[in-house]
Structure 1
Amino acid sequence: MAVDNKLQTVRHSCAHVMAEAILKLYPGTKIAIGPAIDNGFYYDFEFPNGTRFTETDFPVVEKEMRRILAGNHEFVRREVSKQEALKLFSDQPYKVELINDLPDDEIISTYEQDGFIDLCRGPHVASTKEINGQAFKLSRVAGAYWRGDSDRQMLTRVYALCFTKPGELKEYLDMIAEAEKRDHRKIGVEMDLFHLEPEDPGQIFWHPNGWTIYTIIQDYMRKMTIRDGYKEVNTPAIMPRTLWERSGHWGHYQKNMFITESEKRLFAIKPMNCPGALEIFNSKQRSYKDLPLRLAEFGHCVRNEPSGTLHGIMRVRGFVQDDAHIICTEEQIGSEVAKFCKLLKAVYHDFGFEDLVVKFSTMPEDHVGDLATWQHAEKALADACHAAGLEYEIQPGEGAFYGPKLEFKLFDCLGREWQCGTIQVDYQLPSAERLDATYIGADNQKHHPVMLHRAVLGSLERFLGILIENFAGAFPAWLAFEQVAVVPVSSEFNDYAKEVNDAMLSADIRSNVYLGDENMKAKIKQVSMEHKTPYVLVVGEKEKSENSVCVRYRFSSKKPQETMKISDFIKYVLTKNEERGTGI
């Protein structure tokens, strides 16, 4: 979510105060950079030899920072020449390097408070009294290479949270505590959904419970896309270097590709599906009457992500996208973008997400194609947005290397923002210079189509991680890996419990029967708390005699328990499955 400029100024000013405190406490420390970020700031340091800075040092630094703040020191801006700046920071090599990178005639600004001088463009608050000493907190320590270069010095990055009021800090800390409870990695183990192997980083081992939810999501998306006019395809996992060179991926994406060799030829495991879709399009001559052609693929992709960036099932190396490529004429872009937006909103609604933010990403520095074509593509996408009634924020330079894109961001129950859906306008890949896709137009001449790359959920793995955290594992009934748990009041009614379970399974309701030696209360606790099963069916003498079940709804809070005929309960669950939504 956007942060106001005033708060960012407070955060950056507080970063200077932290740098001052650390220099006073640890003489000889070298300082690098300290920008404001979402929810706070960080500063990079090179501590003197023998000094290992850890989170146990936080209280001492925070105390010193509060002492500085209490002094009500002004932030004084001063402009200096390059030579003056080099003299001022002669004992700070990281600052000297930054200064040397600037043009000789550049006016350089510094900021000083309480005798501490830092190289900085600003702005800053007027004085330290504008920073609330109870509204910041040092949060963690990490390693960071100088200027992001793994061949350079590893620095110590100290992160801090910073707000204008103590209540805002507390609210954020409470949210973080709740997020930790909902961590998909923790819940994934507790509910036996998946596990990750350290020896195989970025790859997921799905267990039956997790894979059940995964296939429910995949089958749902398959049904939605087929209803929306897509044809499903499947393309090879490994394709030759020559294809990736023609598509442009070899020159712009090779570092993220896993390469293999066979019979003296290089191949790549596909990091994305788009070249394969155009190979299908090019397999025969097409007519304008065939367009738009909507090709959907649940393609398994592999990307060589750095191991340090991997995060549970949210950031992985092997994943599947609910991918599709719409091959169309230029005139069809607007209607296809509008159609996609309608599908996306319907899907998000079914998963319980209503609020969306749309970001429009324009031409990046690393791109293929000329400026005129890019401007044309960006205008086409902007016109399509206006036609669809979409409001958006511009993200300059964040487009794909082949075209501008829209990113759709949703918000979970904690207010966290997640980028999932995307649609990209691509004039490059179908062009004569790339994969040379053509169709015969109404004028009986060959024309190059436009390709729209689109995904609603994005990575299925990541989306399932979002769902786990959003629902804290208590999935809506239509998504739960175990919808029904049948529990007999005693072993005397095991046979009837089996009959009830068989009736559920025959109706395609995901059900298990619990016949172990534990007592009824222990079984109910297990399925309610560990499996978070939406419906527990307790059966005994009364239920057996009436061919019914006693239905206990999850956590018994939203709905009281009730007795229902088996047939009526089945109808109820099947109706809920069709309605989807977040209820039980």
Structure 2
Amino acid sequence: MSEENIYTFENKDYRSTYWHTCSHVLAQAVKRLYPEVKLAIGPSIEGGFYYDFDAPFNFTQEHLDALEAEMRKICKEKLKLERFELPRAEAIAFMQEKDEPYKVELINDLPADAHISFYKQGEFVDLCAGPHLDSTGRIKGNAIKLTQCCGAYWRGDSNRKMLQRIYAVAFPKKEELDEYLKQREEALKRDHNKVGRDLEYFTTVDYIGQGLPILLPKGARVIQLLQRWVEDVEQKRGYLLTKTPLMAKRELYKISGHWEHYLDGMFILGDPHDETKECFALRPMTCPFQYQVYLNRQRSYRDLPMRLGETSTLFRNEDSGEMHGLIRVRQFTISEGHLVLRPDQLEEEFKGCLELAKYCLGTVGLLDKCTFRFSQWDPANPNNKYEGTKEQWDEAQRVMGQILDDLDVKYEIGIDEAAFYGPKLDIQYKNVFGKEDTLVTIQIDMLLAQRFGMYYIDENGEKALPYIIHRTSLGCYERTLAYLLEEYAGALPTWMAPEQVRFLPVTDRAADYCADAAKALEAQGFRVEVDYRNEKIGKKIRDAQVEKVPYMVVVGDRDMENGTVSPRHRVDGDLGAMSLDDFTALLREVVDSKAKK
């Protein structure tokens, strides 16, 4: 990066530093206006920053407006930010004197040899590792916007107190903020939480629980279509279909390592600590179950690669604060698969997994906005989150890095983002608000085969351990549906639309004609409805457009006399009168080609 770009928003590190400093300005404004509020944490995040507060009242829009005004004042004061350190005991006493219990807890949890640093700006001091800008004057006060306030558990623990989190964003120029707010307004229109509910794809119910959405008929149909399509695609690529249980005894998860490394993320049925009684857990992933298919009998090198695929329902005990519509849920369905293979087959099979994922994502229209992350282990944390030795991880990451380079995959590296048993390629996607999540993952596993004794007999008659690739082809179907609703603003392509054609009789006389035509299309496998309501045709057309139906077929007396239909596309408009056979052929071409219209 050129010298002149170091201190601009083009530099990710500078942008993070800018937003982190803004979070301190927000906290200072809160303490000035509402000194009784206690401070928690305030990091920069992708797309802005937030700060968590423990307040004896609920922040309203009126509070946020007052805080924005105070933040502008602080920026105009051009307060210098000064870093200083304190010994552990003094740091604790310092925050106790300020009556900041959350800061005291954070200090107590720091390692004994940690450098405990603070940043001071005017009368305000905060516990922080930094870095920060050198002055609040570098922040453009009129380009700050507090965007949202919501609940957030302290340290993400649902057993701890619920705090209030104020989200915000800031830019060096007012024009950039205005452009951001304009984009945000458009994002709100496309937000799957709005579109999906307005168009009746899904709903949520408080007494069922967070992260447990109800798929309404439209949403259920789209996911069914995607699942069937993916299963057919995988079958053509040599995958064997499996169907395995939704739960298992803890003994299975102890063998796989999930009991040790993933227990907090699982839903447990029984007492996990009472070894005298059976204890089950809902499955958070399918791998240890599918391994039993491989283990059903002795395998030879000639049996490999074995490609196992399953439409799997999984359960993960996500934090309440992480729930978001269909994107992050506690029960979800995934196109999960595991390939058991010889070491010499690794690169070719990995390439096949990547090509499959790209094909699926490209077909549904999401690939162009995807990015790739090479997720690696953190060598500083080997015995907590990760299995295996440094040598094993170095070898696994070397092999995977070589494969990615050979395939010319452009990726970023994510440290401490690997699975506990191996590195992975994560295909990332951002929702309309810029929040990034993993859509598809392809993982290389050199460890779990040994845990399960998954040997095969090689060409020399000797026992050998295979490699395993964990992969998805389209990822989580609920998350994919969310992204599709946002990408197409609810107007899903015809081939996956829950309703493809709606007949609109102009008069009651045309109702039977429409019913017969609809039955003929349904017999060809199309999804068709007839609007029999006693409404004017203009309203019927508007309602169908609002509901994003791809094709509306207006039928009047002239169509009945001529034996025609008059289809209208939601984008292309009136297509003119044509025979039902011609319209059927038009539909067949659009659907079979999986066109984006």
Q: TM-score, normalised by structure 2?
A: 0.89
In the other structure, the counterpart of 2:238 is 229
Describe the shift of the 1:78–1:309 C-alpha distance in structure 2 as closer, same or farther (beyond 3 A).
closer
In the other structure, the counterpart of 2:4 is none
**DSSP-derived class of the 1:492 partner:** helix
1:21 Cα offset (Å): 2.2
2:528 pairs, out of 477, 486, 511, with 511
- Measured in 2, the distance between the counterparts of 1:97 and 1:261 equals 32
Deviations 1:438-489, CA, capped at 9 Å, x for gaps: 1111111111111110012221112112212222211111111111111222
Deviations 1:109-151, CA, capped at 9 Å, x for gaps: 4433334333433332232221111111223334445444556
Deviations 1:477-535, CA, capped at 9 Å, x for gaps: 111111111122211122221221122112111111222322222222222212x1111
In the other structure, the counterpart of 1:526 is 543
In the other structure, the counterpart of 2:81 is 75
In the other structure, the counterpart of 2:30 is 22
Sequence identity, in percent? 37
Mapping of 1:247-262 within 5 angstroms? 247-260=256-269
**Structure 2 counterpart of 1:127, one-letter code:** S
- Measured in 2, the distance between the counterparts of 1:174 and 1:180 equals 10
**Structure 1 counterpart of 2:422, one-letter code:** G
Deviations 1:308-331, CA, capped at 9 Å, x for gaps: 433322222222110110111112
Deviations 1:143-187, CA, capped at 9 Å, x for gaps: 445444556665443332212222222222233322332333333
- Measured in 2, the distance between the counterparts of 1:42 and 1:372 equals 39
1:10 pairs, out of 4, 14, 18, with 18
1:571 Cα offset (Å): 1.2
- Measured in 2, the distance between the counterparts of 1:98 and 1:267 equals 35
Greater shift, 479-488 or 520-529, is seen at 520-529
**DSSP-derived class of the 2:63 partner:** helix
Describe the shift of the 1:81–1:211 C-alpha distance in structure 2 as closer, same or farther (beyond 3 A).
closer
**Structure 2 counterpart of 1:112, one-letter code:** K
2:368 corresponds to 1:371: no
Greater shift, 450-459 or 32-41, is seen at 32-41
- Measured in 2, the distance between the counterparts of 1:540 and 1:133 equals 61
2:555 corresponds to 1:542: no
Describe the shift of the 1:74–1:342 C-alpha distance in structure 2 as closer, same or farther (beyond 3 A).
same
2:509 corresponds to 1:495: no
2:139 corresponds to 1:131: yes
In the other structure, the counterpart of 2:5 is none
- Measured in 2, the distance between the counterparts of 1:318 and 1:13 equals 38
1:259 Cα offset (Å): 3.1
1:65 Cα offset (Å): 1.8
Describe the shift of the 1:280–1:102 C-alpha distance in structure 2 as closer, same or farther (beyond 3 A).
closer
Contact 1:334 1:383 in 2 (8 A): no
Mapping of 1:88-127 within 5 angstroms? 89=95, 91-92=97-98, 93=100, 94-99=102-107, 109-127=117-135
| Count of residue pairs the alignment pairs up | 576
Contact 1:3 1:38 in 2 (8 A): no
**Structure 1 counterpart of 2:371, one-letter code:** V
Describe the shift of the 1:376–1:559 C-alpha distance in structure 2 as closer, same or farther (beyond 3 A).
same
2:193 corresponds to 1:180: no
In the other structure, the counterpart of 2:41 is 33
**DSSP-derived class of the 1:478 partner:** helix
Contact 2:144 2:171 in 1 (8 A): yes
Mapping of 1:133-212 within 5 angstroms? 133-148=141-156, 155-201=163-209, 202-212=211-221
1:192 Cα offset (Å): 2.8
1:475 pairs, out of 470, 492, 502, with 492
1:373 Cα offset (Å): 1.8
**Structure 2 counterpart of 1:228, one-letter code:** R
**Structure 1 counterpart of 2:530, one-letter code:** V
In the other structure, the counterpart of 2:227 is 218
Describe the shift of the 1:62–1:215 C-alpha distance in structure 2 as closer, same or farther (beyond 3 A).
same
1:401 Cα offset (Å): 1.3
- Measured in 2, the distance between the counterparts of 1:144 and 1:195 equals 22
**Structure 1 counterpart of 2:71, one-letter code:** M
Contact 2:157 2:319 in 1 (8 A): no
- Measured in 2, the distance between the counterparts of 1:104 and 1:260 equals 38
- Measured in 1, the distance between the counterparts of 2:174 and 2:344 equals 54
In the other structure, the counterpart of 1:279 is 292
Describe the shift of the 1:470–1:414 C-alpha distance in structure 2 as closer, same or farther (beyond 3 A).
farther
Describe the shift of the 1:424–1:519 C-alpha distance in structure 2 as closer, same or farther (beyond 3 A).
same
- Measured in 2, the distance between the counterparts of 1:295 and 1:224 equals 13
1:359 pairs, out of 357, 366, 373, with 373
Greater shift, 440-449 or 349-358, is seen at 349-358
Contact 1:75 1:113 in 2 (8 A): yes
1:311 pairs, out of 321, 324, 330, with 324
Contact 1:258 1:268 in 2 (8 A): yes
Greater shift, 502-511 or 365-374, is seen at 365-374
In the other structure, the counterpart of 1:398 is 417
**DSSP-derived class of the 2:30 partner:** helix
Greater shift, 500-509 or 133-142, is seen at 133-142
1:451 pairs, out of 464, 468, 487, with 468
RMSD in angstroms over aligned alpha carbons? 2.7
- Measured in 2, the distance between the counterparts of 1:167 and 1:369 equals 51
Describe the shift of the 1:415–1:63 C-alpha distance in structure 2 as closer, same or farther (beyond 3 A).
closer
- Measured in 2, the distance between the counterparts of 1:359 and 1:272 equals 21
In the other structure, the counterpart of 2:567 is 551
Contact 1:328 1:450 in 2 (8 A): yes
In the other structure, the counterpart of 1:57 is 63
- Measured in 2, the distance between the counterparts of 1:85 and 1:304 equals 35
1:345 Cα offset (Å): 1.4
1:340 Cα offset (Å): 1.3
In the other structure, the counterpart of 1:380 is 399
Describe the shift of the 1:274–1:128 C-alpha distance in structure 2 as closer, same or farther (beyond 3 A).
same
Describe the shift of the 1:370–1:25 C-alpha distance in structure 2 as closer, same or farther (beyond 3 A).
same
**Structure 2 counterpart of 1:377, one-letter code:** A
1:538 Cα offset (Å): 1.3
Deviations 1:254-312, CA, capped at 9 Å, x for gaps: 23333336995333222211111110001011111111111110022222334443332
Describe the shift of the 1:72–1:307 C-alpha distance in structure 2 as closer, same or farther (beyond 3 A).
closer
Greater shift, 504-513 or 302-311, is seen at 302-311
Contact 1:334 1:385 in 2 (8 A): no
- Measured in 2, the distance between the counterparts of 1:536 and 1:157 equals 45
Describe the shift of the 1:171–1:256 C-alpha distance in structure 2 as closer, same or farther (beyond 3 A).
same
Contact 2:153 2:160 in 1 (8 A): yes
Deviations 1:233-257, CA, capped at 9 Å, x for gaps: 1112232222221111122222333
1:338 pairs, out of 351, 358, 361, with 351
Contact 1:338 1:387 in 2 (8 A): no
Q: Structure 2 regions of 5+ residues with no counterpart?
A: 1-8
Q: TM-score, normalised by structure 1?
A: 0.91
**Structure 2 counterpart of 1:208, one-letter code:** P
